[in-house]
């Protein structure tokens, strides 16, 4: 057990170190500046991910220490705000929905999107129908798209979208989450693997993007609209006042 834990720790730390080196070399700058430019123009950051990549969108949108002008798009919006039956969210049906190439336009039209907004879409594989479809829908309407994906994985598989393209081939800016093909890092005797890393590296990337976007705003002489924890005195009042400036434009349902 100790050997496996040590091996996994090294797999994680080596990837985080690689991402840190990339960020220090300016790798994060283009995406952060694009996000800051959108916010400075009264835009909102629209975050989307399916499956475990939804955790990335939750790191971007609506959390303490994060930016207030952020909104989370989720497949469940098709039920909560659309006409889909709740059965569509059952585990098996949800997987089908994730790969459905026909949901993207429906999902986009249900979302609170303004022409000034920027999209950041996370998908380890970058090939499922809903992911590729939403990226195409955003690009078709003139939005800048940032992708967070595993280049090793996405370049090794075929897209499931009839367009023939992957998320990485649509986005204006592509960020590699450094996850390996299949996501797992440790082989199991008898077959299979454990030790998935994409959620860890994606969360780290989300925080780097938030930090550098804030720095871009500060350098431009603008006060960054940042959430503070609702669990400290004055937190609710601070957040409510800033959220009110984006009334009708933010969505963060659980």
Q: Is 171 left (phi over 0), alpha (psi -120 to 50) or beta?
A: beta
| pLDDT per position as a tens digit, 50-90 | 999 999 999 999 899 999 999 999 999 999 999 888 887 77
> Residue 1's pLDDT is what?
61
Give 3-state DSSP helix, strand, coil % of the chain, rounded to 5. 50, 15, 40
Cα 246 from chain centre: 20
- H-type alpha helices, the chain: 2-24, 29-40, 54-60, 77-80, 91-99, 103-110, 129-140, 151-154, 167-170, 198-219, 235-243
Query: Quick one: pLDDT band at residue 254, thresholds 50, 70, 90?
Result: low
**pTM for the full model?**
0.94
> Residue 91's pLDDT is what?
59
Using alpha carbons, select from 126, 178, 167 the residue that is nearest to residue 22. Answer: 178
> Residue 73's pLDDT is what?
96
Residues 61, 252 contacting (CB under 8 angstroms): yes
Whole-number Å distance between alpha carbons of 222 and 75: 34
Domains and CATH numbers, the chain: 2-246 (3.40.50.10490)
Query: For residue 245, is pLDDT > 60?
Result: yes
Query: For residue 150, is pLDDT > 70?
Result: yes
Share of the chain above pLDDT 70, in %: 97
| pLDDT per position as a tens digit, 182-208 | 999 999 988 889 999 999 999 999 999
| pLDDT per position as a tens digit, 96-149 | 788 888 899 999 999 999 999 999 999 999 999 999 999 999 999 999 999 999
């Amino acid at each position: 057990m100790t050997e496996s834990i040590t091996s996994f720790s090294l797999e994680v730390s080596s990837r985080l170190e690689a991402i840190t080196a990339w960020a220090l070399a300016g790798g994060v700058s283009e995406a952060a500046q694009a996000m800051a430019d959108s916010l400075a123009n009264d835009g909102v950051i629209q975050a989307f991910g399916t499956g475990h990549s939804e955790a990335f969108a939750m790191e971007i949108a609506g959390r303490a220490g994060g930016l207030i002008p952020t909104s989370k798009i989720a497949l469940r919006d098709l039920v909560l705000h659309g006409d889909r039956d709740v059965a569509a969210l059952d585990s098996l049906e949800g997987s089908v929905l994730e790969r459905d190439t026909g949901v993207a336009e429906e999902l986009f039209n249900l979302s609170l999107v303004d022409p000034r907004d920027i999209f950041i879409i996370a998908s380890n594989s970058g090939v499922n129908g809903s992911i590729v479809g939403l990226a195409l829908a955003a690009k078709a309407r003139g939005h800048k798209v940032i992708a967070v994906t595993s280049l090793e994985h996405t370049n090794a598989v075929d897209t499931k979208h009839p367009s023939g393209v992957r998320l990485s081939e649509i986005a204006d800016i592509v960020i590699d989450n450094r996850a390996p093909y299949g996501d797992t890092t440790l082989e199991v005797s008898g077959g299979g693997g454990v030790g998935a890393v994409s959620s860890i590296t994606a969360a780290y990337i989300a925080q780097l993007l938030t930090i550098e976007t804030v720095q871009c705003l500060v350098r431009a002489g603008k006060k960054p609209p940042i959430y503070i924890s609702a669990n400290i005195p004055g937190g609710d009042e601070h957040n409510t006042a800033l959220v009110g400036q984006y009334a009708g434009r933010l969505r963060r349902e659980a």
